[in-house]
Amino acid sequence: MFIRFKMESHLISWSVAVFLMVSVFYGACLGLECEYFNITECPTPDKPCEMRRNVTCTSEDPSSHTTSCFALWQRGPAPDSVEVLRFKGCFINNKDCIGMDSCVDRNHKQLKNSSLHTHYCCCESDFCNRDYVWLPKPTSPPVNQKIVEVERNGIRGWAWISVLVASFCILCVIVAFLVHRRVQQKPLPTSTSNLTDEENILLDKSESSHVLTHVDLVEPKATGRFGSVWKATMVGQPDWVAVKILPLREKTSWRLEQEVYSLPLMCDSQLILGYFGARTDPDSMQLWLISEYITNGSLYDYMKGHELSWSEVLKVALTMCQGLSFLHDEISSVKGVKPAVAHRDFKSKNVLLRPDLTACIADFGLAFIFYPSKLVGTNHGQTGTRRYMAPEVLDGAVSFTRDNFQRIDMYACGLVLWELASRCSNQQGPVGEYRLPFEEHVGQQPSLEEMIECVVTQRKRPTLRNDWQSHPGLAVLSEAIKESWDQDAEARISASCIVERLHSVSNKII
């Protein structure tokens, strides 16, 4: 009888233990529900918007309570300043969030970005970051007030505290047991691969120089789905600079642009946008690229508001193709060897115009560098802006070689040259309103399926006007355009070939 009772006791103990373990693991695997918000996704980043949604956060290690919700907001120095929400979402591996049921920032000394106070809080319950508040701890808490509170609550308050402490201790024992078992089964990580993007970026101090930290944003100039561009000032730079701000999810593109600009000769060429450096902004958790500020903006923006004479079209086309040829060529110099580069997102929005209307190429977030010892690989897919995608990219039938990547750029270059020709004031007929390539066929926001049907199946191209043949320069340019966007990739001419053809007419036609 005694032996049976002892066995049953052991069974009950193990059943309770298994039940607790299963409950903890099950709760962790379900995931935490948080509210998500990113101010950089707003149509106008400097103004608040209501673009919130719910997300489910999960941890890679279900045996530990490592998933939490967070909120980051800013306010001015005055007590009644308006609060501006910056970010909401999931946070991983933050021990400070354990046991927090509501999102409260109690930090008294706030980090500052210019004149703004930045606040941060995190918590562990579902949608606990939906509401957030700053309740700073007083710098010198009054002792008498604490005594009054204890006396007022009396024995009942102490009883509740005892229950909470006991419950917390039991929970800690269970969690410690599970963690101990987990550590015995799994080796400790030896790298930061499990860190979140936020932690990886903020831990990497080498990305920002002291000079680049003294950049002040002045005015937003453009906003897109991948980030925004600001007009700014920088210490030590007499002219305006441009700041391209990307969210953390674009870390790969941010690093790739830095790699392209670091190649030999890249920062010496006037055919490429001038580059000053990159930095991270730990307060807003954003990625910055600081470059030359171009007053005319992009070729796309300029053509929408201006007609161009033939001499202006020639200057833009020549310098643009010279820039693309510079990118595509492998060049040896005393500074080293610049490898060939494919842009992979060439379009009129990524060609900028200096005050004298010479063009320079920008935005290398999708570029590919052809290092002599680096394999091209096969994981590239349909990359770029769909309106400018070559037929072989839309069709998914690309063999990834250096020549093929450059022919894809040349197809897009032909479309940009067509945009230029369509805005030339020297054609015989009237100059129409600016239109995007294929806008006459697929409208302003075509789907991928519409572009495949138009470009691959029907083999359509933007219309080359007959009256362009009456102008010697536009006639040469029209022929170059047709050979640039040929359906057969191997039949497309190179950027250097277009430069030679345009040079042949530059001294004969005004």
Q: Which residues are catalytic?
A: 345
Backbone angle region of 46, left / alpha / beta, with phi > 0 → left and psi within -120 to 50 → alpha: alpha
Give the distance, in angstroms, between the CA of residue 78 and the centroid of all CA atoms in the same chain. Answer: 33
**Which tokens sit at 11?**
């069974």
CA atoms of 295 and 193, how far apart (whole Å): 41
Give the distance, in angstroms, between the CA of residue 127 and the centroid of all CA atoms in the same chain. Answer: 26
Cβ-contact 340, 329 below 8 angstroms: yes
For residue 70, the SS3 value is strand
CA atoms of 473 and 476, how far apart (whole Å): 5
CB under 8 Å to 140, separation ≥6 — which residues? Answer: none
CA atoms of 361 and 275, how far apart (whole Å): 12
CA atoms of 455 and 486, how far apart (whole Å): 11
Cβ-contact 279, 212 below 8 angstroms: yes
The Cβ of residue 37 has, within 10 Å, a number of other Cβ atoms equal to 22
The Cβ of residue 389 has, within 10 Å, a number of other Cβ atoms equal to 22
- Give 361's strand partners: 272, 351
- Give 112's strand partners: 117
**Which tokens sit at 4?**
């049976």
CA atoms of 214 and 288, how far apart (whole Å): 12
The Cβ of residue 28 has, within 10 Å, a number of other Cβ atoms equal to 19
Please measure the distance between the N-terminal and C-terminal CA atoms of the chain and give it in whole angstroms.
Answer: 113
Residue 377, CB-side half-sphere exposure with 13 Å CA sphere: 8
The Cβ of residue 145 has, within 10 Å, a number of other Cβ atoms equal to 10
Backbone angle region of 501, left / alpha / beta, with phi > 0 → left and psi within -120 to 50 → alpha: alpha
CA atoms of 53 and 374, how far apart (whole Å): 41
Phi, psi torsion values for 137, nearest 5 degrees: -70, 135
C-alpha dist (Å) from residue 445 to 356, 382, 426, 429 = 32, 17, 30, 28
Cβ-contact 195, 202 below 8 angstroms: no
**Which tokens sit at 176?**
């410690």
